[in-house]
């Protein structure tokens, strides 16, 4: 199963619809929505947090959160 956490640096994926319930409202509001493309830009030196670009927003989120957001790799 692919999640944002399984993306490699530079890879992109589409956030799957079933992730809707696990994404916190704040993240949704910042543009991290189902059906949207997400790109993993950087990984912090200790493999956590992850630096992503989603819907034009550049965000750092923790791996534990990223691992809950399922994606379809593109």
Partner 1 sequence: MENPKPVKVALIGNPNTGKTSLFNQLTGLTQKVGNYPGVTVDKKQGSCKLSATKTAIITDLPGTYSINPTSVDESIVLKSLLNTGDKDFPDIIVVVADVENLKRNLFLFSQVKDLEIPIILAINMADQIDRKGISLDVETLQKELQTDIVLISARKNIGIDAVKKAIENCAEASITQPLCSINHKIDEDYFEKLKEVSSNHTLYELWLMITQNNFPATISEEEKKRLLEFTQDVSKVKRYQHKETIHRYKQINDILKRTYIVDHSKAKDLRSKLDRVFTHKIFGYVIFFGILLLIFQSIFDWSTAPMDFIDATFANFSEFIKINMAPGVLTDLITDGIIPGIGGVVIFIPQIAILFLFVSILEETGYMSRVVFLMDKIMRRYGMSGKSVIPLISGTACAIPAVMATRTISGWKERLITILVTPFTTCSARLPVYAILISLVIPEKKLLGIFSLQGFTLLSLYALGFATAMISAFLLHKTLKVKSTSFFVAEMPNYKLPSLKNVVFDVLEKTKAFVLGAGKIILAISVVLWFLASNGPQSYKDVEQNITENVAYKNLSSGEVQQKIAAAKLENSYIGIMGKSIEPAIKPLGYDWKIGIALISSFAAREVFVGTLATIYSVESDDENTSTIKERMRAEINPDTGEKMFNLPVGMSLLIFYAFAMQCMGTLAIVKRETKSWKWPMIQLFGMGALAYLASFITFIIFS
Interface positions with partner 1 (CB under 8 A): 20-21, 23-31, 33-34, 41-42, 44-49, 51, 55-62, 65
Judged by beta carbon, residue 24 or residue 73, the one nearer partner 1 is 24
Q: How far is the CB of 2 from partner 1 (least distance, A)?
A: 21
Q: How far is the CB of 32 from partner 1 (least distance, A)?
A: 9
Encoding tokens for residue 17? 């619809």
Judged by beta carbon, residue 13 or residue 19, the one nearer partner 1 is 19
Integer Cα distance of 55 and 32 in angstroms: 7
């Amino acid at each position: 199963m692919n999640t944002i956490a399984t993306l490699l640096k530079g890879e992109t994926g589409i956030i799957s619809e079933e992730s809707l319930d696990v994404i916190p409202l704040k993240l949704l509001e910042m543009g991290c929505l189902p059906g949207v493309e997400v790109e993993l830009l950087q990984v912090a030196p200790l493999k956590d947090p992850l630096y992503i670009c989603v819907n034009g927003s550049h965000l750092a989120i923790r791996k534990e959160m990223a691992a809950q957001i399922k994606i379809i790799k593109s």
